[in-house]
Structure 1
């Protein structure tokens, strides 16, 4: 076939329908992409990503994104929308323990809002899509699977451990932080938070859960999250309960007699089926109040008395 005939023939090819996998990714990008913003500092200083969850311009992003931009360029932030609009934004609150933050911009006209899903129903191997502004390339879409669930991740700059994060092999790069991780229906199931430098296909996202919703509500209404503190690092056990990985010396749990290897199955009269359950019960109402802590130890169930302290803000 002559080259000119080949060139001409290629221009007349009918448009082929997308395969099922491509249809899903394209559909998620079209549905969720307009609600994803780039978050930057003064003079468009590179920052991270965010996702609009309120028609009033309320955006969820990462605490480390907000704090990093503030440290490098003062308190002024800016968001860039997918349609080219940009606006200054104020920080309503940020919460390092969950690595979540909320900012708000003045919305001129209608703004797209991302639908929130629920991470509790995710399965390992399930398709997920990440959208954000890695290295400043806004509206970048990557896809992968849920690699693992219930991971623990050390917060930025040696901070506190963030529990129950989602691990994914969808490409997460600097600048993706704060952007959404979505399921195949286009619902946000996580907020991308970190990657492992030098590795390939190991990224993490804060799950959308009951705890996530409480954090966001507190940040919007009070500007901070008040928490109770036991002084334990826990991990969800396959059979249920929050397994104690280690105990902080002289912390409330240590004083109460909690040991590494214990499995916490109840707190203050309520069942604990996972580490997320325990974290959700350690709210402001639990600070400074004696509570019963049911633990499994060596096949026996014990009830210990513990008095949670308030988790320091810094």
Structure 2
């Protein structure tokens, strides 16, 4: 009788045994090592994870909501998502040990969907450590802790699926350097930490793709640290503006060839604000912006990303394409909020 099963022939090594002189590895030992790593992370990070309860007015109606957050200093600084506390009048923090206290909003940044709270308590609180997210690698362990669907102190684990992703914030701006993970996230996880195996926070959980399985996103810890630093210093995240309405357009091949440009798209100045830094520098409606300080500009997102606080009030070289060819303009961006 022919063999209809997919055996490959010959005897196979039993599970947990060695073959051809190889080293002995027991599946139970591997599982225990993984479990110990996750447990150690939970022991380190979970005490700093908080449940955020908010009430206020949203879209003209009284609303309540919940989310997660993570304490990043013993004196009560909390990182969470902007969308968790947007419109909140009252914010209450609950800790895993039962302590409760109110919090006030120090600052919000819709462009990165992050916010910073200050817990109104004199107690010394457990705090998590922010990692350098530049060291995050695809495939490493990722552990999410939060309060999904009202279940406090819930832990899920997976891996880092990808790094360097981009994600649209609710205001339409592009958040860069986002970490993708398959650690399960649900409503209520927003604002909670994504941790590595060393018990350090590598990201702030922010979004999932509805209908997908295992595609979740966290704002990288380096971005969170920048937002935290800016809010503590200025009450907001400072960004530059040049005073234009920009749109991404294809760069005609003949224009690219004549200007010796390798990019396939550019930013067209659709509208120009009177008296703006761009107008004062001589920019005109219809100009194509192709470089900023020598770095290619292929879309409006590139332009917004480059116009950070470092360029406020400084001389910036903007390369544009006009009918006469490439032109260099010197623009001095202003503070976007002023």
Partner of 1:91: 105
Aligned to 1:76: 90
Matched, 1:247 2:267: yes
- Alignment partner of 1:41: what SS? strand
Say yes or no: does 1:159 pair with 2:184: no
Distance 1:232 1:203, change over 3 A: farther
Higher relative helix content:
1
Aligned length: 267
Could you tell me whether the CA contact under 8 Å between 1:266 and 1:294 is conserved in 2?
Answer: no
Please report how far the alpha carbon of residue 45 of structure 1 lies from its aligned counterpart in structure 2 after TM superposition. Answer: 4.1
Equivalent residue, structure 1, for 2:72: 53
Aligned to 2:333: 308
Q: Does 1:41 align with 2:54?
A: yes
TM-fit CA distance, 1:167: 1.0
- Who wins on radius of gyration, i.e. which is larger? 2
Higher strand content, 1 or 2: 2
After TM superposition, list the pairs within 5 Å mapping 1:2-151 onto structure 2.
19-42=32-55, 45-67=64-86, 70=88, 75-151=89-165
Does the CA contact (< 8 Å) of 1:244 and 1:264 recur in 2? no
Q: Deviations over 1:102-141 (max 9, x none)?
A: 1111234331010110111111111111111111111111
What is the rounded CA distance, in whole Å, between the counterparts of 1:37 and 1:227 in structure 2?
30
Give the deviation of 1:220 after TM superposition: 2.2
Structure of greater relative contact order (alpha carbons < 8 Å, 6+ residues apart): 1
Q: How far does the alpha carbon of each residue in 1:238-296 deviate from its partner, in whole angstroms, 9 at most, with x for none?
A: xxxxx99763634769867424xx697559xxxxxxx99x947720x52354312589x
> Structure 1, unaligned stretches of length 5 or more?
1-15, 235-242, 268-274, 296-300
Counterpart CA distance in 1 for 2:140 and 2:337 is 37
Question: 196, 201, 224: which one pairs with 1:188?
Answer: 201
**Deviates most, 82-91 or 36-45:** 36-45
Partner of 2:229: 217
Superposed CA deviations along residues 203-250 of structure 1, whole A, max 9, x for unmatched, are 1111011x432321121233212211467799xxxxxxxx99763634
Aligned to 1:207: 220
Q: Matched residues in 2 for 1:123 and 1:186: separation?
A: 15
Name the SS for the 1:185 alignment partner: coil
Question: RMSD of the alignment, in Å?
Answer: 3.4
**TM-score after normalising by structure 1:** 0.73
Give the CA deviation at 1:51: 0.4
Q: 1:178 and 2:191 equivalent?
A: yes
User: Contact (CA 8 Å) 2:82, 2:109: kept in 1 or not?
Assistant: yes
Structure 1 residues 280 and 85 mapped into 2: Cα distance closer, same or farther (>3 Å)?
A: farther
Rounded Cα–Cα distance in structure 2 between residues aligned with 1:147 and 1:228? 33
| Aligned match of 1:11 | none
Where does structure 2 lack aligned partners over 5 or more consecutive residues? 1-27, 57-62, 249-262, 273-277, 321-325
Query: How far does residue 306 in structure 1 lie from its aligned partner after superposition?
Result: 4.1
Give the stretch that moved more between structures: 32-41 or 109-118. 109-118
Q: Report the Cα distance in structure 1 between the residues aligned to 2:205 and 2:308, rounded to whole angstroms.
A: 24
